[in-house]
Amino acid sequence: MLQQVSSSWTIGFKDIDTAIKSQLNAGKLVRPALTLLFSELTDEAYNENAITLGASVELLHLATLIHDDIIDESKLRRGQTSIQTRFGKDTAVYSGDYLLTGMFTLLNKVNNIEVNQYANESLKEILFGELSQKQNRYRLDMTFDEYLLQIKGKTAALFRMSTLFGIMSRPNDEINNFRDLMQKIGETMGMTFQLLDDYLDFSELGDNLALGKPTGQDIQNGIYTAPILFALQDETKRNDLKNFLHYVMPSRQRN
């Protein structure tokens, strides 16, 4: 798996190669692991296609993280200095873009039209999730349903892609009958993963070492996650929390 990932991104420009390598080596590979796990439902677990597709998911995931860090001006990612902080935003943009080309290179190796079509659909969902998050920034009236729709595209789409790629790695008519279920399982895992990540951002357990990214950054960027939305529904906390959120938001965002 790591060999597949590494062979897909080396571009020959030192800063970009160093930047990407630093982040790839720090990843937990949760999403590609799901691809391999669900490939066990096919006739041949851990087949070459499953490894290739899992690697493609990891490249896409890292590309989205790099681009997120540019937008959020995050200084930390995966427990170390983010690419945009260490090398500059220009190198970060090029790194993220090049990882996307690596993803498509891997997808082409599988030579499956359906896989390419699903990857394109997933990219659209991820983009719309990001755009929804942008639109919802600093919205104190954001609903929990809107939040769920946002993370369904932003986070859950990648998990759904991971599980589906696992069963698509080897043709199996019997498993294909359960494709909708496999997608739902992946989506649910992704939503749960994001909810836990949001909780850890406010928990004493969620320090920089545990999360690998700055804590409290979402609030500063006007991204109100589940704990904030739940707290805003509590009459005993609502007014104080609103006053605090108004205080930390940029003046241009205040009503």
66-99: pLDDT as tens digits: 998 888 888 877 667 888 888 899 989 998 998 9
Residue percentage of the chain with pLDDT more than 70: 87
Residue 162, pLDDT > 50, answer yes
The pLDDT, as a whole number, for residue 116 is: 93
| Residue 86 vs residue 162, higher pLDDT | 162
CA distances from 174 to 139, 162, 167, 178 (A): 46, 19, 10, 8
pLDDT at 136: 93
**Region 135-142: what's the mean pLDDT?**
93
Q: Averaged over 36-44, what is the pLDDT?
A: 82
Q: How far apart are CA 255 and CA 241, in angstroms?
A: 16
**Burial grade of 18 (CB within 10 A; 0-12, 13-18, 19 or more):** middle
Q: Regarding predicted confidence, which is higher, 237 or 208? A: 237
**Predicted pLDDT of residue 23:** 78
Selected from 1.25.10.10, 3.40.50.1820, 1.10.600.10, 3.20.20.80, the CATH number assigned to the domain covering 2-189 reads 1.10.600.10
Residue with the bigger pLDDT between 214 and 190: it is: 190
- pLDDT of 52 over the 80 cut: yes
* Angle formed at CA 218 by CA 215 and CA 221, multiple of 5 degrees: 130
Q: How confident is the model at residue 211 (pLDDT cuts 50, 70, 90)?
A: low
Q: What residue type is 183 in one-letter code? A: Q
Q: What is the pLDDT of residues 235-247, one digit of tens each?
A: 998 999 999 998 8
Say whether pLDDT at 177 is over 80.
Answer: no
Average of per-residue pLDDT across 44-61: 86
Which residue did the predictor score with more confidence, 207 or 107?
A: 107
206 pLDDT higher than 50:
no
Mean pLDDT, range 126-145, rounded to an integer: 93
Torsion-angle region of residue 249: left (phi > 0), alpha (psi -120 to 50) or beta?
A: beta
Mean pLDDT of the chain: 85
